[in-house]
Amino acid sequence: MSAACTGAFAAESAPSTGLGQAWPNAPDVSASPHWHVYAFQRAGIRYIQVNDLNGNVRAAFATSGEDFLSLPIGLDASRLATPQDPLPPPASGAGEIVYHDGAVQVLVAPQTDGTVQLRAAPGTCNDPIECSSHLN
């Protein structure tokens, strides 16, 4: 990942600690009342963590520019799709955008088996499912 920091990231003052915690000492920046989203920043890298309403960490990723890196954190870490680590589209439908800051957007799609599929995509993407899926 490049260490370059986009203007949207540089203008914000996100906390640099708390990643992986159920209730980090960071503001909840979720766009949804159904999820908690926390943003952290350190050394020009932005970290986004999605928790459920009970505080369970579902997944987290790091991003810089349009580069994304899935982190091995959370119950659904293996079900986090990024443009660099794509997954097939979710089985249960489109899902809900839970975070968008102009540079990054996150979509969460609950699955019928109780798991969650998450999609992280650049903020310029019009369809997070398409931007983080294997396209044939």
Q: How confident is the model at residue 134 (pLDDT cuts 50, 70, 90)?
A: low
pLDDT tens for 85-122 read: 998 887 766 789 999 998 999 999 988 888 999 999 99
**Lowest pLDDT segment from 6-15, 41-50, 96-105:** 6-15
pLDDT (tens digit per residue) in 13-23: 678 789 999 99
Instruction: Tell me the C-alpha to C-alpha distance, in Å, between residue 82 and each of 12, 79, 89.
Output: 23, 10, 12
pTM of the model: 0.84
C-alpha span between 15 and 90 (Å, rounded)? 31
116-122 and 96-100: which strand pairing? unpaired
Q: What is the mean pLDDT of the chain?
A: 86
